[in-house]
Amino acid sequence: MTDTPTQLFIGGAWVDAADGATMPVDDPATGEILCHVADAGAKDARLAEDAAVQAQEEWARTAPRARSEILRRAYEIILDRTDELAHLMTSEMGKPLAEARGEVAYAAEFFRWFSEEAVRVEGGNGVLPDGRNRMLLSRRPVGPCLLITPWNFPLAMGTRKIGPAIAAGCTMILKPAPQTPLSSLALAAILKEAGLPDGVLNVVTTSRAGEVCEPLLRGGRIRKLSFTGSTQVGRLLLAQSAEAVVRTSMELGGNAPFIVFEDADLDKAVDGAMVAKMRNMGEACTAANRFFVHSSVAEEFGRRLAERMGALVVGPGTRDGVDVGPLIDRVGRAKVEELVADAVERGARVLVGGRTPEGAGCFYPPTVLMDVASDSRLMDTEIFGPVAAILTFDDEDEVIRRANDTPWGLVGYVFTEGLDRALSVSERLEVGMVGLNTGLVSNPAAPFGGVKQSGLGREGGRVGIDEFLEYQYLAVPVR
């Protein structure tokens, strides 16, 4: 903690906010203030923009191999500092240390993956169909980017954007969530140590997101927005990006269906449910939000899931043996409480959990709700907490219709032992990703992203770098 930077990172230097403002960072396990970090305003945003714009031309000319090696070095430093980074993340975000270590590895992997992709960017050439012109096709960085990240994966949401931006030759301004600025600042220090030139990455921590970001999006110098966060904020930023026709990648909210058919292996289904629901205490865009379980196995599935959920240890993420840390803040917890109360009012049975504990910290117990009514609010709201809501179904067409009956389409989970059914149901789900007999889809080598109002574009995989590249086509007459 003592070495973690708390200032803004602009043009390769650590600086205070121009007006001297700072903001507190809280520990969600205790409610106590961990430290204060610089709180950027519009002037700081302009300075960060100047630095990114100024660095862009030279950075674009850097050899891909040089960019690749910076990412590779940063990957190694991150892994070397796993424990330190995990403690930092747990202290500002709350997730148990074991999960934080897992996120450090996941976050680092984006740098390794994109260090490999940086040297594989290819263009093309050929003679056009009329025979009169040749086409030379090259890929170029899109230009200075604004990267906006949420608090739920404080390190990985940053590396998932910074990795491909560096690989493609883009400069950038990162605006992390105000709840979790420390992981991003630590990441900037690591990239500087790994040799990233000044101005390529700038980090502005702020409690004044609108004041900082809107002028950047409307100003015409930022050429790309990569946003991860709620659909509601995503919509607003899309509108702001329209004015200067800024390219956008949007990783937005989800409302994942988790479907258990009568022929599913229930052991696998319960294991999958534990991951799909409980990774990150349910504070994940990929979290299973609606469990549709065939009526013939629903009671058994609910009983087994409640047993597993009830056995989890809730407490501060730094304590040994804790499985479930606090939620991010009191607002987040109050939302979970309201959603559970609403479902119970409409007839849901509480199999386990459902009661907020007394005391400091934003804890909420793992909860399983059975017989949830379809009109409950949590059916069309991201719960973002450790609450599994179970509904039953009897027919395949019916469950697909209900699973798709939502404006979101990030991920779905399907549990069945039948191959034909597994493939046909997956194909009919309106989602960008499907976990087939597994509760975990995230992997840096796979394209992550959603359809419908869950977003635009993909992060990771072979296509992740494309979001930061433009094509340039040269027409050359054939002589």
Residues that bind ligand NAP (CB under 6 A): 148-152, 157, 175, 177-178, 207, 209-210, 213, 228-230, 233, 236-237, 251-254, 285, 382, 410, 450, 455
CA distance linking residue 413 with residue 22, whole number of Å: 42
For residue 159, give the H/E element and its range.
helix 156-168
Q: How far is CA 402 from the centre of its chain?
A: 26
For β-strands 172-175 and 201-203, DSSP reports them as parallel
Nearest to 294 by CA among 263, 256, 257: 263
CA distance linking residue 392 with residue 371, whole number of Å: 7
> 3-class DSSP state for residue 147?
strand
* 54 touches 199 (CB < 8 A): yes
State the helix-helix crossing angle for 181-193 and 156-168, rounded to 10 degrees. Answer: 40
Nearest to 224 by CA among 52, 442, 65: 52
User: Which residue(s) pair with 314 in the sheet?
Assistant: 324
> Other C-beta atoms within 10 Å of 413: how many?
32
> 3-class DSSP state for residue 358?
coil
Q: Which residue in this structure is represented by tokens 């026709």?
A: 245
CA distance linking residue 21 with residue 214, whole number of Å: 19
Tokens representing 32 are 């106590």
How many residues can be counted in the chain? Answer: 479
Which amino acids are annotated catalytic?
A: 251, 285
Helices (H), 94-151: 97-117
Looking at residue 221, what DSSP letter applies? S
Nearest to 256 by CA among 366, 153, 384, 148: 384
CA distance linking residue 465 with residue 161, whole number of Å: 9
Contacts of 44 (CB under 8 A, 6+ apart): 8, 10, 15, 17, 18, 38, 204, 206, 212
User: Which residue(s) pair with 10 in the sheet?
Assistant: 13
User: Which residue(s) pair with 473 in the sheet?
Assistant: 137
Alpha carbon distances (Å) from 461 to 105, 254, 443, 470: 17, 20, 8, 18
Nearest to 44 by CA among 18, 11, 74: 18
For β-strands 387-393 and 367-370, DSSP reports them as parallel
Alpha carbon distances (Å) from 356 to 314, 337, 340, 359, 386: 12, 8, 11, 9, 12
